[in-house]
Structure 1
Amino acid sequence: MLKKFRELIQNRFFNRTKQLREQAFEIHDHVIQIEDDTYFIAKAMIPDIPDILNVERSVYEGQTPWDHAAFANELRRKFDRLYLVIRYHDRMLGFIGASFDDRTKTAHITNVAVVEDKQNRGIGSYLLKIMIGKAEFIGYKKLTLEVRKSNARAQALYLKLGFEKTGVKAHYYFGDHEDAIDMTLALTQKE
């Protein structure tokens, strides 16, 4: 009897979280305003990958830390991944990706990038706030990410949004083996 009761409770809890996640992942392509500019935001799709790679190249000195196959694998995982792209006219200016883990109630920013000539215009902050809002809507406890130790500008943005430095991953990044700073944002719990 206790086993059946426990299964019933677990099924209701996980089904509720699943329903909330599905609602949070619904993105209706739409026009948004950031500062004085109008942009188009949408859920990333497989045909967006070349543009996503171009954003990476513009940010990472011609390199693409993730390749086409890595992004394709992420975009196929519709159950626990959400990737968004932001465009100005037909030019992709940035993207953000996150994984969502119902077991730990943790969302993790896997990628966020904005082309260099459009940084410091609120685009990255906007994208991060969207993911924060989605994780809070689902009822998650925290949002995590890693950032290069040398990327002071990104660290400042994350700190401004309420993230805290919670650790270091030594030699984390492929290629140059730079350390990563772990950062965590405690999320507001839904009542």
Structure 2
Amino acid sequence: MFEKFKEWLVNTTTPTKRPTLDFTRRVVMISGHQYGVRMACDQDIQTLVEIEERIYGKAPWSYAAFQIELQRPHDRLYLVVEDDQQIVGFIGTAVDWYHYDLHITNIGITPSYQRKGIGTYLISTFKNYARHLKLHSMSLEVRVHNVSARKLYASLGFRDQHIKPRYYLDDHEDAVDMQANLLR
């Protein structure tokens, strides 16, 4: 029992034992259109908040929340997608080193760029990244009533795990916890 606790303690409290998460900037083709993909930085935060406002009416994540996330290079990685140097989408992830899980903390695509394959590209990229890190699963939460997102996640290998009652702070809607097994 002590050895298991010691392993947990080292994996969750010793950032020097964990690699800094990194991503090399690249140009990619998504549905026949060229986009730039790179790591998010502090200068992007206001744009990320604005994208969330366009999607939800009110940003679920504050400027400060994004700022805190971007300051955790050992267990957080955020990517942005650019069209002609304008950010049109992003994804945020958190590594749970103890459970070998990559959790999608948030994903947002500007409404005029939705349904163009950007979200699929980002999630698929992170599935490969998680496998590279030797993680066993990916997870996320999604609103129960967000049927189109749930269908997208299911098509990418995510399966419903359980309901998290009253999960969302704004309207107390339930969330579905979904997980994709990466060991197959």
TM-score normalised over the length of structure 2: 0.89
The residue number in structure 1 matching 2:103 is 108
Paired with 1:27 and 1:160, the residues of 2 have a C-alpha distance of 25
2:156 to 161, 171, 177: 161
Does residue 1:97 correspond to 2:92, yes or no?
A: yes
Greater Cα radius of gyration, structure 1 or 2: 1
| Runs of 4+ deviating beyond 3 Å | none
1:31 to 22, 27, 31: 27
Count of equivalent residues: 176
Paired with 2:130 and 2:173, the residues of 1 have a C-alpha distance of 29
Per-residue CA deviation, residues 1-45 of structure 1 (Å, 9 max, x unaligned), is xx9xx7xxx7xxx79xx57x44xx321212111011000111000
Paired with 2:85 and 2:95, the residues of 1 have a C-alpha distance of 29
Does residue 1:44 correspond to 2:46, yes or no?
A: no
The residue number in structure 1 matching 2:174 is 179
Paired with 2:168 and 2:22, the residues of 1 have a C-alpha distance of 32
AA matched with 1:85: V
Does residue 1:60 correspond to 2:56, yes or no?
A: yes
Q: Secondary structure at the match of 2:125?
A: helix
Q: Secondary structure at the match of 2:49?
A: helix
Does residue 1:126 correspond to 2:121, yes or no?
A: yes
Q: Secondary structure at the match of 2:93?
A: strand
The residue number in structure 2 matching 1:81 is 76
Per-residue CA deviation, residues 71-113 of structure 1 (Å, 9 max, x unaligned), is 0000000110000000101221110011001111111100011
Q: Percent of aligned positions with the same letter in both sequences?
A: 35
Check the 8 A contact 2:79/2:91 in 1, yes or no.
yes
Paired with 1:146 and 1:57, the residues of 2 have a C-alpha distance of 19
Check the 8 A contact 2:36/2:85 in 1, yes or no.
no
- Once the 2 structures are TM-superposed, how far is the Cα of residue 158 of structure 1 from its aligned partner? 0.2
- Once the 2 structures are TM-superposed, how far is the Cα of residue 161 of structure 1 from its aligned partner? 0.3
Per-residue CA deviation, residues 170-191 of structure 1 (Å, 9 max, x unaligned), is 11001100000110000126xx
AA matched with 2:36: F
Paired with 1:31 and 1:46, the residues of 2 have a C-alpha distance of 21
Listed as ranges, the gaps of 5+ residues in structure 1 are none
Q: Secondary structure at the match of 2:130?
A: helix
- Once the 2 structures are TM-superposed, how far is the Cα of residue 147 of structure 1 from its aligned partner? 0.1
